[in-house]
Every structure is written in structure tokens, then in C-alpha cells.
Amino acid sequence: MSSYYRGKNARRYNVRWKSYTEITLSHVLDTIDFSRLNDISAQNGRTPRVLDVACGTGILLKRLLERIPDADAYGVDGSEDMLAQAQDALSNYPNVHLEQIQVGAGLHANLPYETAFFDLITMTNVLHDISKPQETLHQLS
């Protein structure tokens, strides 16, 4: 894992990468069908479930929850320091579940969730850090 995701570098990550993160997350949010996610409660009798793989400091999860506040939001990341920031950023949302996991090309990308458990899976700004990105993405689908 890169030193960008540990210690003081992790604590400064949002400042250092702010413009890049703003652009990429804006594009990601533009591709999400929020009306469909908001309809899941009525259609399926449960809240929508979203997963942000390599959630880092929780910026994308926070933006998702601003648009679908009743969602069960899950975030996984390999960095304890990044997850600590995500925990702080998302502390006002009781429906957030964060877990330290190293994502990889194993079965279900090494994630402990059932197939088709999530209504939305996001994975941004991390493919460059994954050894087998195509295999990992395939396992998430």
C-alpha cells in the first residue's frame, strides 16, 4: 500500500488531491441513477444498499448519503488511517458500515458480502493500486 494512505499523508489526502477527487467524484455521481436507488424501498421493501470499494476518507459515501439518506452504506478500504477519517466524516450517519479489507482479485474481490447484496457498487481512484484490476472488477460484478 502506498504511503499516500498512511500516517500524515493519509491525514492530508483530501487537501492534496482535492481538485482531482472533485472532478472524478462529480463524474461518478453523474452516472448514478438516484431515482432508481430511491425507489428500492418501495419496490423491494428495504433500504438501498451501496458499497464504496476503497472508500478512503469517505467523501463519495457522504455524497451518496446526501442524496439517498436512508441507504445502508458500506465502505471498505485497506488503510486504517483512511478509514479513521471516513469514520469521522460519516459519524452523523448511523447506517454506515466501514471495514478494513484489502480488495483483490480473489473470490468476490476478497469481500465478505453475498453476491448481488448491493444495489450499487462504486470503485473510484484506486485501480492503479490494484495488482489485477480487471479480475477484481469482474469479481465485483
pLDDT of residue 31: 95
Three-state SS string over 18-67 comes to HHHHHHHHHHHHHHCCHHHHHHHHHHHCCCCEEEEECCCCCHHHHHHHHH
Residue 54's CB is within 10 A of a number of other CB atoms, namely: 23
pLDDT at residue 10 greater than cutoff 90: no
Label residue 122 exposed, middle or buried (CB < 10 Å: 0-12, 13-18, 19+): buried
Closest residue by Cα to residue 75 from 102, 97, 90: 97
Q: Could you report the per-residue pLDDT of 30-68, keeping only the tens digit for each?
A: 999 999 999 998 898 999 999 999 898 999 999 999 999
What is the average pLDDT score of the chain? 83
Q: Between residues 61 and 79, which one has the greater pLDDT?
A: 61
- Inter-CA distances, 101 with 33, 37, 79, Å: 27, 25, 8
Residues for the chain: how many in total? 141
pTM of the predicted structure, to 2 decimals: 0.81
What is the arithmetic mean of pLDDT over 109-138?
77
* C-alpha cell at position 94: 448511523
What is the arithmetic mean of pLDDT over 99-104?
84
